[in-house]
Copies of this chain bind each other. A is one copy, B any other.
Amino acid sequence: MAAARALLLLLAALGPAAAVWPQPLRQLSPPAAARCPLPPGRFRFSYAAGSAVGPGCAVLDEAFQRYRALIFGAARPAGEARGEGSGRGAPTLFGICAERVTVCGSPAGLETFSQLVGRDENGTYYVNETEIVDFPRFPHRGLLLDTSRHYLPLKAILQTLDVMAYNKLNVFHWHIVDDPSFPYESFTFPELSKQGAFNAMTHVYTASDVQAVIEYARLRGIRVIAEFDTPGHTLSWGPGAPDLLTPCYLGKDPSGTYGPINPILNSTYQFVTSLFQEVGAVFPDYFLHLGGDEVDFTCWKSNPQIRAFMEEMGFGEDYTKLESFYIQRLLDIISSLGKGYMVWQEVFDNGAKVRPDTIIHVWKNSPPYKEEMANVTKAGYRALLSAPWYLNRISYGQDWMAAYQVEPLDFTGSPEQKDLVIGGEACMWGEYVDVTNLAPRLWPRAGAVAERLWSNATVRNLQDAYVRLASFRCELLRRGVQAQPLFVGYCDHEFDGF
């Protein structure tokens, strides 16, 4: 989103520097910073004169209301909230210090501002004078949720989008379907979820759910990139899509089990074209994530028709060629739909011809991901890093630190190669995660990835990060987020939503 990449300039307020997460590019306060009180009843957000946008810009109008509620909570006087955004001009914050409190930019600037607001012992809200110049280091700062291994209710996804915005994460990678279940309700192929969801009534995303996610995200400066992973990871597609999957054989007879998508039938490509036509229209982002990872060749190898096709095509015993044959046709279909694509690294590793604007998603740790980052960018493709950020993999203690210490550009390559790294994504795969443990497992751990992708490469001090992240986590509790503790201690406002 353009908004999240804009320069933020905050002329606000500060005494002892208020901790902001993720840390801004530059944050200064004068030696004798003025303290500016913010009485909830008189405080207004409004657009500055000369702004490129003004009232009617839904993203900012609604962000004004949201951040007023976040900052003042129950202290917001009834009926006051609707006053926001009725002025004119560039997005500007006016407290009672009037022109001295100004923010140019985007909802991300409002988030920064909200983190600067303090409350003194008398309950008075204030900001201390400070100047912030901010800009994200990487444009793609994502979070992957997996709604196939466990279904996540709509409300849990929306809550996650809220917290992503608090962390200035701006891409929701929706790994919506996979082997275990197909919760996406397709209007072209309604049988997919009818047969493939855990429960076709209760464990599905309707068209209106999907629209709600996309719009909720948009208002928070977050893109939604849907992943429909093929040709592997598709077992749940089988019951609702006859002949789509490869029948596996035991000796000379079908065993009754199925493997990856059957790449040798024309009907497969007709199906894929229709499905992605729908998906490409439903998800407005230019990019689709096409998956392409972990294709198991066992079933293909067992199937006599597949083996005959391999021989016919001269693929020998190299099933990666068959995989690339499928992928190549898929990529051409997506291109013909006018969409761009992201793929997991195997697509690149196996030598499929991808378009120059393809994003290669690096997720494997063997070979070491740094080698893959070097190879992908050397080949001239854009790279997106997730390998060190599989946050579903938990360990005892402060494991956010390992995620935090990653340096995405720490690989052998030219400056031009480094420029091809567009960012990264924290991944929360769903084998052991559902709505019961999603929030505490994500937050504040995913915040470590968020700061790595937003802040300057030099922002790496663990002690300093600990202090700011612990403080940010307390703010998350105040906002109702079930974020787990970093270590021993307490917050003034503990979590009470249980």
Contacts and interface: CB of A to CB of B under 8 A. Distances in A.
Given A435-B498, A440-B436, A477-B436, A485 B150 contact: yes
Contact of A181 (B199, B437, B490): B490
Contacts of A439: 436, 498
A469 to B, nearest CB: 14
A498 B437 CA distance: 11
Interface in A385-425: 392-398
A491 to B, nearest CB: 9
A148 to B, nearest CB: 9
Count of identical protomers in the assembly: 2
Interface in A443-498: 477, 482-490, 492, 494-498
A168 interface: no
A149 interface: yes
Interface stretch (A151-159, A221-229, A348-356, A358-366): A151-159
Identify the interface centre among A150, A394, A398, A439: most chain B CB within 10 Å of its CB. Answer: A150
Secondary structure class of chain A's binding surface, majority of residues: loop
A150 B153 CA distance: 30
Contact of A485 (B397, B432, B487, B488): B432
B432 A180 contact: no
B490 A203 contact: yes
A150 to B, nearest CB: 6
Nearest to A152: B494
A4 to B, nearest CB: 27
| Interface size class, chain A | 35 or more
A433 interface: yes
A454 to B, nearest CB: 24
A179 to B, nearest CB: 8
Contact of A394 (B156, B394, B489, B492): B394
A474 to B, nearest CB: 11
Contacts of A398: 432
B395 A396 contact: yes
Given A150-B488, A433-B484, 6 more contacts: A155-B498, A394-B396, A435-B498, A436-B482, A436-B485, A437-B440
25 contacts: A149-B488, A159-B498, A202-B492, A393-B396, A394-B396, A395-B396, A396-B432, A397-B432, A430-B488, A431-B487, A431-B488, A432-B484, A432-B485, A432-B486, A433-B484, A434-B494, A434-B495, A436-B439, A436-B483, A436-B485, A436-B495, A437-B437, A439-B498, A482-B498, A497-B498
Q: Which 6 A-B pairs have the closest CB atoms?
A: A198-B490, A437-B440, A437-B484, A149-B488, A436-B495, A436-B482
